[in-house]
């Protein structure tokens, strides 16, 4: 094969591969990079060629990498050449992310060249973390289930003996002591029953139910108990599918979530309970929710309270983990909700931002007819409107969600830019960069939240359209953010067809 064919083949490989490919010289200067490298690190190709590969690494790794290259050239010893390893990459915006790096070496006409291939490990790491959390909760469930069973046996003996003593005749002083002991033993039995629900060993009595009716009955109780400082809003779909749930456990779960919301708003506030059908029928939404595609009824409980930090969110469903120990919290409320939903064949999601509130999503599977091939109904590709190369600026502070949003929008036929917060997005617009649509999250760090960014865009760049999105069930959290009904909010998680139709409507 001649040189021209070799060059054409190399070009085809670099253009089509989904992984980052970088060709550098002996000094570590980038001679050639493929388009995937630009997408992965957030640079234009012209910004990379002629620069050191150290531009794409944190300082500590860059120093180590230089040492590896120098050592290999001088001795031929392989410390990184031909050996893949997991390292960290550095994006243009300063964020770090995990990659797998493989390096090859070639001597072409006396010139030392190195080829690096980098594979993004972000999604794999996220999946591994999610699996580890699930496995940890399962292990804790098995442990607590066994303990609860043993404690129930002990409590049975204690309660039985106390009742026998009471029946044999005792004086008033002894009777008071026995009754106090019985009350405590009964509380212990209630505690273990809640542990069994978390461990998915409790006895559920599911019946076909309309979640709207169960929520209305529960709200009649809640409104009398939560106090006048708290406002409860409801948003029930006009029609929803029925699901198989235990009504008592569903109402108990809803009460737990509502009381948690109240405790997160010590000075009063507002929370919303919403119920609607949702169909998860594309890979993006399944990836975002970690759920199997299918038809679900979703119950959302959102508040505008204190919110939860990352560590609290990771451990929220573990039994005995509580941020309210000084207020008498047992750490079993959310564990019970988690166990009930999972035992019912459903899923639970948590979205929270410190200072802006929390939203829990409870998903219960619907029994529904399927197509003749056994699949659930999916959106027809012909019904999904495509873009014509317009530029969408995606504004999202969560790196994983930002990358996912970029993929979703590109798959719809649009070009993308991205920014990590509202301030960076506005700077992009002020710099003169052409943008057709700003697609922004509501809650972000920095000076500009989503509503404030939208207002500045409308004022300074009236030709730029704005689409807002939020992980909260409604706009209950946005009153303090300057929320307005002028903007229709696309609620996370959303289907690809919903995103496509919103973008198409804005640009039509």
pLDDT digits (tens, 9 = 90+) for 218-247: 887 777 667 777 888 888 999 999 999 888
Say whether 368 sits in a helix, a strand or coil. Answer: coil
What is the model's pLDDT at position 23?
87
What is the model's pLDDT at position 18?
82
Measured in residues, the chain has a length of: 508
Burial class (CB in 10 A: 0-12, 13-18, 19+), 107: exposed
Both tokens assigned to 320: 């005995």
Low-confidence ranges of the chain (pLDDT < 50): 198-201, 325, 328-329, 369-376
What is the model's pLDDT at position 417?
94
> Please, are residues 470 and 440 in contact by the beta-carbon 8 Å criterion?
no
Q: What is the pLDDT of residues 308-320, one digit of tens each?
A: 877 787 777 776 6
Task: List C-alpha distances in Å: 131 to 126, 138, 192.
Answer: 9, 10, 27
What is the model's pLDDT at position 141?
55
Strands 207-209 and 243-245: antiparallel
Both tokens assigned to 429: 């617009």
Q: Which of 177, 77, 116, 144 is nearest to 339 (CA)?
A: 144
């Amino acid at each position: 094969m001649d040189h021209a064919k070799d060059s054409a083949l190399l070009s085809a490989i670099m253009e089509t591969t989904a992984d980052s490919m970088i060709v550098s010289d002996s000094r570590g200067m980038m001679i050639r990079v493929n388009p995937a490298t630009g997408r992965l690190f957030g640079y234009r190709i012209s910004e990379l060629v002629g620069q050191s590969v150290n531009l794409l690494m944190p300082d500590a790794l860059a120093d180590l990498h230089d040492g590896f290259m120098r050592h290999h050239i001088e001795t031929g010893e392989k410390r990184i050449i031909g050996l893949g390893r997991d390292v960290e990459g550095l994006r243009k915006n300063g964020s770090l992310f995990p990659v797998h790096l493989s390096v090859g070496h070639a001597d072409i006409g006396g010139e030392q060249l190195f080829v690096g291939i980098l594979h993004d490990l972000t999604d794999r790491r996220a999946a591994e973390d999610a699996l580890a959390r699930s496995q940890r909760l399962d292990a804790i469930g098995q442990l607590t289930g066994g303990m609860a069973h043993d404690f129930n046996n002990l409590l049975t003996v204690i309660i039985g003996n106390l009742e026998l003593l009471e029946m044999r005749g005792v004086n008033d002083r002894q009777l008071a002591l026995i009754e106090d002991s019985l009350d405590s033993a009964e509380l212990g039995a209630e505690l273990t029953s809640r542990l069994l629900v978390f461990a998915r060993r409790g006895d559920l009595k599911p019946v076909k139910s309309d979640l709207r009716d169960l929520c209305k009955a529960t709200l009649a109780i809640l409104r009398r108990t939560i106090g006048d400082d708290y406002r409860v809003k409801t948003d029930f779909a006009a029609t929803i599918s029925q699901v198989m749930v235990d009504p008592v456990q569903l109402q108990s779960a809803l009460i737990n979530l509502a009381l948690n919301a109240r405790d997160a708003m010590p000075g009063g506030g507002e929370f919303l309970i919403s119920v609607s059908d949702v169909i998860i029928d594309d890979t993006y939404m399944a990836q975002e929710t970690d759920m199997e595609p299918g038809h679900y009824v979703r119950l959302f409980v959102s508040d505008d309270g204190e919110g939860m930090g990352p560590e609290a969110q990771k451990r929220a469903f573990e039994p005995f983990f509580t941020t309210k120990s000084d207020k008498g919290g047992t750490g079993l409320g959310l564990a019970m909700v988690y166990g009930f939903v999972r035992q019912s064949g459903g899923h639970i999601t948590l979205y929270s931002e410190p200072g802006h509130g929390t939203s829990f999503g409870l998903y219960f599977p619907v029994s529904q007819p399927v197509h003749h091939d056994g699949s659930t109904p999916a959106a027809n590709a012909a019904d999904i409107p495509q873009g014509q190369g317009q530029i969408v600026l995606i504004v999202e502070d969560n790196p994983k969600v930002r990358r996912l949003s970029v993929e979703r929008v590109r798959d719809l036929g649009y070009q993308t830019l991205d920014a990590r917060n509202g301030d960076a997005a506005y700077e992009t617009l002020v710099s003169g960069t052409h943008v057709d649509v700003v697609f922004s999250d509501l809650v972000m760090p920095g000076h500009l939240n989503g509503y404030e960014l939208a207002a500045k865009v409308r004022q300074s760049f009236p030709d730029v359209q704005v689409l807002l999105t939020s992980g909260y069930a409604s706009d209950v959290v946005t009153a303090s953010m300057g929320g307005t009904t002028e903007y229709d909010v696309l609620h996370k998680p959303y289907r690809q067809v919903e995103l496509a139709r919103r973008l198409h409507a804005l640009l039509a």
